A and B are shown apart, each in its own frame.
Chain A
């Protein structure tokens, strides 16, 4: 029943999209021209194949095209690949490439470029193995046919072919023996996407111009995109730049709830929470399970009973965020609300659980002391929630000392070296849990690296379920595995998920057709146009 509703919603959305695309197609000639100014964080370079993150991904997906694009429903749509077939055993994917696609230097895009790019990503991207570990090889029977062969079925493969994760690189430019991670072409990239690289001044701006020979007819609309570097932490600067019209669009605004409210009142500005589904940012309280008493499940449950998540989302975040009770973001197709074990706010129960765990209050009412770290990013979910937890956990006799970090490196180093009791933390789920979620829970991923299983959680059943979900060919089997996984995680509570990070994109209303698929700003802006054509 649920599935049926989902399917019909998907069909109507697809129809609506079809109409919208049709309209955009006919109207594109009159929308031609103009410059869009986009505000981003400063990227290291512009090659998403070896550098993940939105600072590279946003300009990178304008320059590089990919085999497919994901739509609003996580469905693959043709891009460089005009059609594809998947074998019944889910181990062979055959892609037919467009024959009219050219790189910006005039060379054609061929299957050899696809094979080369996949190899680069697999071996150099931070999620390369998670995404393409199952790939045995890519065959290139002819220039426009690429066959990806897998050792075992990997259901996340199509999502991993998005341009931001697998940008198709020109083999003739990159494959010259130099190290791909420091290749000079990363800063002067040549792709086959809708916009060509023109100029970059480090820390200032990046200019792209219309690719006149883009393979999608009559696209893109814009003449130029200028990416202005305004760091996400300079919220005030971003706010002023947007309101003064100096920047049209911040795909990853980084605005706190108060600034978002302020922008919502501005008649020239639009704020949206759409376009972050493929990223799926979640926030949680992470315990170092090696430290006592966090190894005791009763203590973790007691803490869960003390946290009022509705207070966090409604009062601290002014209703901008959504509460989260399990390890998957609610936009994930595998999210299962019914599987989750919920903890009502019940301080007496929390105290009882602590009593049972042998943590009786001393003369001051203190049962035990702990240090709580918080990261420098996502201050609304990290710092603010940590500040809320200090008095809140104090009510059940836990003496919390907050420990701030002056910068990201300090915090990441503490967590990666397991030098913490508990920390607020965040992670991106990415379009499939295989890419973003598994890394936090697998027994063999307990590493001294940030955003691995730093908590030190190990449950054989969870490993089995994740293994099953990572190799099953049919969606139903995967759903079943993920449902049980969500149930176990919400029972075991190695991490207490608090809320989904309220990401927003903000843009001036002169910008039309903003990119709002599951990848938001990290997709081609070929259909974007500006109203006055300036």
Chain B
């Protein structure tokens, strides 16, 4: 009974959080100077008072702010994220159209970061004072400190402009003819640079994390036992130590999924990648309130749901958390 109550409490917390996110974002965005009518006038090279007034009226921007907020909340409660002022189409359509590109970028970058980061960490932990270990440390420092847009532009200049290994932007070649396989390869070709850019910062983090936890694990008793049994060092490290050493990396990576979304804003802008991040950036410049709010709501919703599920899963798996909560 008490556990059901706890779950209900969590859900209420989560819903209040989403509500707070919507209200806060709504007020914050409306505090920025200028409105969509002015942006649209700007893009048209001029306009008249009547046209500005009619745009404001048709979008309800002439209503008091709290009325606008109330109408928006009612709309969202009904499952409707509204119409984009700028593109004149449903925000849900825009988000769903852009979502696959962002998911592809973010998930592939995360996987790449876990694999490369862990590998570098484990390799460097085998000889903590060796050359490779120092090299990985410096690499991690640089990777973590360099701003992601700068790394992106540098990779673009080197690999797309001078060496022409990869395309300079976008997600596919417009003029390419061919079947699914050809097109999939083309998308992968376009994916390499943005994925690499987005993963660099996490490769840096995970390599440090994996290095530390591998060192920790390598000092444990069961490793000593394995060595005492006469197993080769490779088997000791890659069979016995690796699985345990990688646990903290996976935990952190899961938690960082939401951060990757914010990194995607910059990477998508640099590489002209047609994802949610670029849509968010452009919508802010255009004061396209429903689209910005829709994207923020959507990402907040995903994060809250993920946290809620993690929380509930912990309760089911680890009895200590349950005990702690009820005491």
Given contacts A44-B43, A412-B41, contact A186 B88 (CB under 8 A): yes
> How many of B's residues come within 8 Å of A, CB to CB?
51
Within the complex, the shortest CB–CB distance from A36 to chain B, in Å, comes to 10
**Residue of A with least CB distance to B44:** A52
Given contacts A37-B174, A44-B87, A412-B39, contact A51 B282 (CB under 8 A): no
Contact indicator B168/A44 (Cβ below 8 Å) = no
Cβ contacts under 8 Å, A124 to chain B: 51
Q: Does B89 contact A (CB under 8 A)?
A: yes
Q: Does A391 contact B (CB under 8 A)?
A: no
Q: Does A329 contact B (CB under 8 A)?
A: no
Contact indicator B153/A236 (Cβ below 8 Å) = yes
Contact indicator A449/B45 (Cβ below 8 Å) = no
Q: Does A45 contact B (CB under 8 A)?
A: yes
Choose among A243, A412, A449 the residue that contacts B49 (Cβ–Cβ < 8 A): A449
Q: Does A25 contact B (CB under 8 A)?
A: no
A-B pairs under 8 A by CB, number: 149
Determine the distance from Cα of A53 to Cα of B44 in the docked complex, in whole angstroms: 5
**Residue of A with least CB distance to B171:** A204
Within the complex, the shortest CB–CB distance from A174 to chain B, in Å, comes to 14
Q: Does A460 contact B (CB under 8 A)?
A: no
Contact indicator B282/A203 (Cβ below 8 Å) = yes
Q: Does B303 contact A (CB under 8 A)?
A: no
Q: Does A172 contact B (CB under 8 A)?
A: no
Contact indicator A244/B274 (Cβ below 8 Å) = no
Determine the distance from Cα of A508 to Cα of B171 in the docked complex, in whole angstroms: 22
Q: Does B235 contact A (CB under 8 A)?
A: no
Within the complex, the shortest CB–CB distance from A7 to chain B, in Å, comes to 31
Contact indicator A187/B88 (Cβ below 8 Å) = yes
Cβ contacts under 8 Å, A436 to chain B: 46
Q: Does A407 contact B (CB under 8 A)?
A: yes
Given contacts A182-B88, A204-B274, A447-B49, contact A408 B161 (CB under 8 A): no
Within the complex, the shortest CB–CB distance from A254 to chain B, in Å, comes to 14
Contact indicator A202/B87 (Cβ below 8 Å) = yes
Q: Does A119 contact B (CB under 8 A)?
A: no
Within the complex, the shortest CB–CB distance from B89 to chain A, in Å, comes to 7
Contact indicator A55/B46 (Cβ below 8 Å) = no
**Residue of B with least CB distance to A55:** B43
Contact indicator B160/A409 (Cβ below 8 Å) = no
Cβ contacts under 8 Å, A126 to chain B: 41, 44-48, 51
Q: Does A105 contact B (CB under 8 A)?
A: no
Cβ contacts under 8 Å, A240 to chain B: 156-157, 160-161, 168-169
Q: Does B113 contact A (CB under 8 A)?
A: no
Within the complex, the shortest CB–CB distance from B195 to chain A, in Å, comes to 18
Cβ contacts under 8 Å, A409 to chain B: 32-35, 38-39, 42, 285-287
Given contacts A35-B175, A228-B170, contact A243 B41 (CB under 8 A): no
**Residue of A with least CB distance to B153:** A236
Determine the distance from Cα of A181 to Cα of B44 in the docked complex, in whole angstroms: 13
Contact indicator B285/A203 (Cβ below 8 Å) = no
Per-residue CB proximity of A199-225 to B under 8 Å, as 1/0? 001111101000000000000000000
Q: Does A230 contact B (CB under 8 A)?
A: yes
Q: Does B94 contact A (CB under 8 A)?
A: yes
Q: Does A127 contact B (CB under 8 A)?
A: yes
Cβ contacts under 8 Å, B75 to chain A: none
Cβ contacts under 8 Å, A205 to chain B: 174
Contact indicator A42/B282 (Cβ below 8 Å) = yes
Within the complex, the shortest CB–CB distance from A87 to chain B, in Å, comes to 29
Q: Does B249 contact A (CB under 8 A)?
A: no
Taking CB atoms and an 8 Å cut-off, the chain B residues in 154-175 that contact chain A are 156-157, 160-161, 164, 167-171, 173-175
Q: Does B295 contact A (CB under 8 A)?
A: no
Q: Does A491 contact B (CB under 8 A)?
A: no
Contact indicator B46/A237 (Cβ below 8 Å) = no
Taking CB atoms and an 8 Å cut-off, the chain B residues in 1-50 that contact chain A are 32-35, 38-49
Q: Does A21 contact B (CB under 8 A)?
A: no
Choose among A37, A44, A230, A451 the residue that contacts B46 (Cβ–Cβ < 8 A): A451
Determine the distance from Cα of A45 to Cα of B97 in the docked complex, in whole angstroms: 17
Determine the distance from Cα of A192 to Cα of B58 in the docked complex, in whole angstroms: 30
Q: Does A241 contact B (CB under 8 A)?
A: yes
Cβ contacts under 8 Å, B49 to chain A: 447-449, 452
Determine the distance from Cα of A244 to Cα of B190 in the docked complex, in whole angstroms: 14
Taking CB atoms and an 8 Å cut-off, the chain B residues in 163-195 that contact chain A are 164, 167-171, 173-175
Contact indicator B274/A203 (Cβ below 8 Å) = yes
Q: Does B307 contact A (CB under 8 A)?
A: no
Cβ contacts under 8 Å, B41 to chain A: 126, 412, 449-451
Per-residue CB proximity of A345-389 to B under 8 Å, as 1/0? 000000000000000000000000000000000000000000000
Q: Does B278 contact A (CB under 8 A)?
A: yes
Determine the distance from Cα of A203 to Cα of B284 in the docked complex, in whole angstroms: 14
Within the complex, the shortest CB–CB distance from B135 to chain A, in Å, comes to 31
Cβ contacts under 8 Å, B33 to chain A: 409-410, 413-414
Contact indicator B272/A230 (Cβ below 8 Å) = yes
Determine the distance from Cα of A390 to Cα of B162 in the docked complex, in whole angstroms: 39
Within the complex, the shortest CB–CB distance from A171 to chain B, in Å, comes to 21
Q: Does B144 contact A (CB under 8 A)?
A: no
Given contacts A201-B97, A408-B285, contact A413 B168 (CB under 8 A): no
Q: Does B86 contact A (CB under 8 A)?
A: yes
**Residue of A with least CB distance to B85:** A44
Query: Which of A204, A413, A427 has the most CB atoms of chain B within a 10 A radius of its CB?
Result: A204
Within the complex, the shortest CB–CB distance from A454 to chain B, in Å, comes to 11
Within the complex, the shortest CB–CB distance from A205 to chain B, in Å, comes to 6
Within the complex, the shortest CB–CB distance from A80 to chain B, in Å, comes to 24
Determine the distance from Cα of A444 to Cα of B50 in the docked complex, in whole angstroms: 14
Cβ contacts under 8 Å, A230 to chain B: 169, 272
Contact indicator A244/B167 (Cβ below 8 Å) = yes
Per-residue CB proximity of A23-56 to B under 8 Å, as 1/0? 0000000000001010000101100000111010
Cβ contacts under 8 Å, B44 to chain A: 51-53, 126
Per-residue CB proximity of A410-454 to B under 8 Å, as 1/0? 111110100000000001100000001001000000011111100
**Residue of B with least CB distance to A236:** B153
**Residue of B with least CB distance to A428:** B45
Q: Does A129 contact B (CB under 8 A)?
A: yes
Q: Does B237 contact A (CB under 8 A)?
A: no
Q: Does A226 contact B (CB under 8 A)?
A: yes
Cβ contacts under 8 Å, A187 to chain B: 88-89
Within the complex, the shortest CB–CB distance from A27 to chain B, in Å, comes to 24
Cβ contacts under 8 Å, B153 to chain A: 236
Q: Does A234 contact B (CB under 8 A)?
A: yes
Query: Which of B32, B52, B170, B282 has the most CB atoms of chain A within a 10 A radius of its CB?
Result: B170
Within the complex, the shortest CB–CB distance from A437 to chain B, in Å, comes to 11
Cβ contacts under 8 Å, B175 to chain A: 35, 37, 226, 534
Q: Does B267 contact A (CB under 8 A)?
A: no
Q: Does A399 contact B (CB under 8 A)?
A: no
Q: Does A246 contact B (CB under 8 A)?
A: yes
Contact indicator A244/B160 (Cβ below 8 Å) = yes
Determine the distance from Cα of A324 to Cα of B51 in the docked complex, in whole angstroms: 31
Cβ contacts under 8 Å, B43 to chain A: 44, 51-53, 55
Cβ contacts under 8 Å, B173 to chain A: 246
**Residue of A with least CB distance to B52:** A449
Contact indicator A202/B39 (Cβ below 8 Å) = no
Determine the distance from Cα of A439 to Cα of B40 in the docked complex, in whole angstroms: 18
Q: Does B279 contact A (CB under 8 A)?
A: yes
**Residue of B with least CB distance to A411:** B34
Cβ contacts under 8 Å, B282 to chain A: 42, 203, 231
Contact indicator A412/B174 (Cβ below 8 Å) = no
10 contacts between A and B (CB under 8 A): A51-B43, A186-B88, A204-B274, A234-B272, A236-B153, A246-B173, A409-B32, A409-B287, A436-B46, A452-B49
CB-CB nearest 8 A-B residue pairs = A409-B34, A52-B44, A413-B34, A126-B47, A451-B46, A240-B168, A413-B33, A410-B33
